[in-house]
Structure 1
Amino acid sequence: MIAYALRSETPVDPPAIRLLITEAFTGAEHASGTEAAIVDALRARGELTLSLLAEQEGRVIGHVAFSPVGIADGASGWYGLGPVAVAPDRQGAGVGAALIEAGLARLRQAGAGGCVVLGDPGYYARFGFANDADLRYEGAPAEYFMALTFDGSRPHGAVTYSVAFEATETARD
């Protein structure tokens, strides 16, 4: 197996990220088809807090996005994880996990309060995410909405994501 490097997004990366996300989510069971547009919209709104890439021999093979979320109780410093994309020919090789772990570590180092994710509990539990009855995301099955606290805080109430998550069209740079 050829090694890959993890790094932060640079100004030249958006086209490669857009292509990777589109390829990664094409035909995926729970994909909306708007994942690349969401990342573009987060970037355009200045809400793409953390954008990490996995790169192998000059090719972007993975990407993870983190953006701020709102919590009804006013808690600050919380972020949403996603979307996470890995090239179809690299899925199942640990690239996504490495990106998620690196992103969570950077958020902790930056003093974030915690992170939420909407996804498969069987997958995200390995990173420490767990259901929290005090946090909810309207319209999603409770078991698929999970939180990970970094500072021990326990916010409560409805969680809201950026309006960028309503994107339906790709915003071009």
Structure 2
Amino acid sequence: MTDNVTIREELPEDHDAIYALTRDAFAPMSFSDSSEPDMIDQMREAGDLTLSLVAEDDGIVGHVAFSLARISETQGIWYGLGPISVRADRQRQGIGTKLAQTGLEMLRKMGATGCVLTGNPDVYRPMGFSTEHALTYSGLNPKFISYYAFDATQPVGEINFVEALEEEHP
């Protein structure tokens, strides 16, 4: 289902479409506080948006953001994945997976140690993310924290996402 989907880095002219896509994708989610599109803009404006990819198929149908993250007791270069959005009529077609896997491969080539995220483990486990860790984030139940390491590193400690995310989700 992703045969016609092209993954590419965002362009300045994509910013409004990314905002609208993210807003619409998170609107029906009970866990969302509607801050996700603003977080992307804040990360971009602060220079904290390390990698921003769009999925294109007759317009932008998906987006994923990656930004630097620190893990208190773990060495290496870690990134946070999120938010990730797919247009409602294109969900469950592998677009989110393709976005995440493309981004992970790009991070690996950049020398990253790994990637962390908060979210539904059932969504991210098939992409290779693990919930077997000693990670914490702001009192969140650890089962909603996942990581993907490019080597045998087992991350341990408190995750600190970029300032834009920390301001929205202390």
TM-score, normalisation: structure 2: 0.91
Look up the match of 1:10. Answer: 11
Shift of 1:25: 0.9
Shift of 1:155: 3.3
| Greater RCO (Cα-Cα under 8 Å, separation 6 or more) | 1
Instruction: Give 5+ residue unaligned stretches, structure 1.
Output: 169-173
SS of the residue aligned with 2:13?
coil
**Closer/same/farther in 2, CA of residues 118 and 107 from structure 1, 3 Å limit:** same
Look up the match of 1:103. Answer: 103
| Conserved? CA contact 2:135–2:142, under 8 Å | no
Q: Distance in 1 between matches of 2:139 and 2:155?
A: 19
Describe how 1:69-80 pairs up with structure 2 within 5 A. Answer: 69-73=69-73, 75-80=75-80
Q: Distance in 1 between matches of 2:77 and 2:112?
A: 5
Q: Distance in 1 between matches of 2:36 and 2:167?
A: 8
Q: More helix by proportion, 1 or 2?
A: 2
Cα RMSD over matched residues? 1.6
Q: Distance in 2 between matches of 1:35 and 1:64?
A: 11
Q: Distance in 2 between matches of 1:166 and 1:114?
A: 20
Q: Percent of aligned pairs with the same residue? A: 38
Q: Distance in 1 between matches of 2:155 and 2:26?
A: 31
Instruction: Give 5+ residue unaligned stretches, structure 2.
Output: none
| Conserved? CA contact 1:37–1:167, under 8 Å | no
Q: Distance in 2 between matches of 1:22 and 1:135?
A: 29
TM-score, normalisation: structure 1: 0.90
Look up the match of 1:112. Answer: 112
Runs of 4+ in 1 over 4 A off after TM superposition: none
Q: Which amino acid aligns with 2:28?
A: G
Look up the match of 2:156. Answer: 156
